[in-house]
Amino acid sequence: MPSFTEEKRLMEKGYRFIAGIDEVGRGPLAGPVVASAVILPPALDAPWLPLVRDSKRLSQKRRESLFSLIGEVALGVGVGLVRPEDIDAQGIMGATRLAMCSAVEHLPFPPDFLLIDHVRLPQLDLPQKSITKGDSLCLSIACASIIAKVTRDRMMMALDEEYPGYGFARHKGYATREHLTSLQQLGACPIHRMRFVRELDRWNGRELAP
């Protein structure tokens, strides 16, 4: 279960506003990368805290519930995204860092310290720590993963209505059998990451519909 240990250690050193940062959507063939930054209060004591996990380990219903609860208690929540055309231009790691930086910039006030899942953000002149598997270990990062996941899932459900036939509401842009079949039948649409689609095409040794 993610703990508040890292945040407490930093607070003891004098840091007040510590933002946990995570992203979702690094691997899909379609849709944006979405990141979130969450600043939790120093004396948070809520009955739902033991339910917080890395968003990938939670059901959709549990994530939706925790999304609202986190938003109610957090001192600050910021969300950033990078769209498919910019993922193609920047590469996935560049796009991931851009989304995380944008999430920090969209916080209601500047943080003192960043706790980041797996990566570092040299673009930001702020003290920071990269934590491998941070969404499983650190409470604020886990909360950020939930905010990012629910935000992106809602976006993909809306995009499913704009681009019907691909099943985005179900697979959220990941390379499921349904998604790959629809790509073969319909070709790529404007929210597909063309760099990813072309790499998949080459790996499979076949041509996708234009």
- Model confidence pLDDT, tens digit, residues 1-32: 899 999 999 999 999 999 999 999 999 999 99
Residue 206 maps to a domain: no
Total domain count, the chain? 1
Q: Is the pLDDT of residue 205 over 70?
A: no
Residue 87 maps to a domain: yes
Residue 42 maps to a domain: yes
> Which whole number is the average pLDDT over 71-94?
97
> Which whole number is the average pLDDT over 131-145?
97
In 126-202, DSSP assigns E strands to 128-131
Q: Is the pLDDT of residue 200 over 80?
A: no
Residue 171 maps to a domain: no
Closest CA to 38 of 106, 121, 95: 106
> Which whole number is the average pLDDT over 66-73?
97
Note if the pTM is more than 0.85. yes
Domain that holds residue 57: 5-154
Q: Which runs of consecutive H residues, i.e. helices, occur in the chain?
A: 5-12, 60-73, 84-90, 92-105, 134-137, 139-162, 168-171, 177-186, 194-204
Domain CATH code at residue 34: 3.30.420.10
Average pLDDT, the chain: 94
